[in-house]
Structure 1
């Protein structure tokens, strides 16, 4: 953002307001996902949450690129994360398949929501700490957007294999509880923010992006299943690697 004196005199350019506009759009997507979940349009509800994840990945980077990041934008982004990744996904899951065991399912929903808000609070505190390593290649615990995508895995499976029976309600609740624990865990998880691609590998990276994008557009649910399974594998590898005793 511009300096306070400059803001008062010249106001904001439209391009400077774009990151916050993306955040507000993501909030609208999360709220709309809850609405469509209540109405039974679960495919659109999941698509809106995924759209919120994409917007979440863009707004902060765009703000830093434009030099328009601010404390207000950071707080707005955190509130959007709580709604889009902590509230909308478990509620959509609850409306989708957990109506037969409402009390037990609601406990699982509450646990996931609390774990997500604790994850976000911990991240906010650590990001404001003077001792925080902003260039770290790892997060502590699974990030909220990744947790939101992971917790909806049973829905991807159901959408991809329409004739397959639904998973038992209790198993879905236990899975939601497990993903919630991953959010507040101390497991080091890979951060894409600091990943660098060498000049020699840029062309292969771009081809990979095209392939992934085409797969998401053509076989969306199967691709999301593969991405979730792959991410769980990366998290499991990081956990086992962190448990190894140091040689020093």
Structure 2
């Protein structure tokens, strides 16, 4: 039978359908239609909903159960990887080249996926959110060369991760570790990681029931946030220092 989904109204600030009405298969498919305007996207994330669709599909909205979450104080790097970073010269910054990061995420090959869900329409929408101070990128570099990164949305004290990429082995691990390190210091306790995969689990992501996740989102999105460019506040982190900090936290 064809799947029948609620169609979103024209008002981008209207509430989404109740998450408990989302499909179980495919997990979390909630609604269709609408647009990728800044108002619609911010409204969606604040309700624990995100867009995910392929080129040629209608615009689809999701709220899966369970939900993958990083607690910012519990992102972990393996001892072997930490050792490899001791003499690493990689540095990490924020919001210095958002377009490069989202393009790299879109272009990265993924097993079992012939194309990308980060379409040109999606790239334009999140770049607009970045210009408005709501979307942020984390960049890992060796010298001037980008070796990894991620991007996502911040609302209140909640960060919603969208995609990350490694252009050199371990680049995405350093990106998420650096982001978590800074967010923990800023009072952001959680990073939404959307859906489970082995890479996220290896870094310490947890599977939360949707109800628990949505309660946390409701509380954290209502708190004062950090809108605007994060470059100065984030500063520059060194991968070797992140590895040392992760090891000290484990030993403490």
Q: Is the TM value for this pair above 0.5?
A: no
TM-score, normalising length: structure 1: 0.29
Please, what TM-score do these two structures have when normalized by structure 2?
0.29
Higher helix share: 1
Larger RCO of the pair (alpha carbons < 8 Å, separation 6+): 2
The structure with the largest strand share of the pair is 2
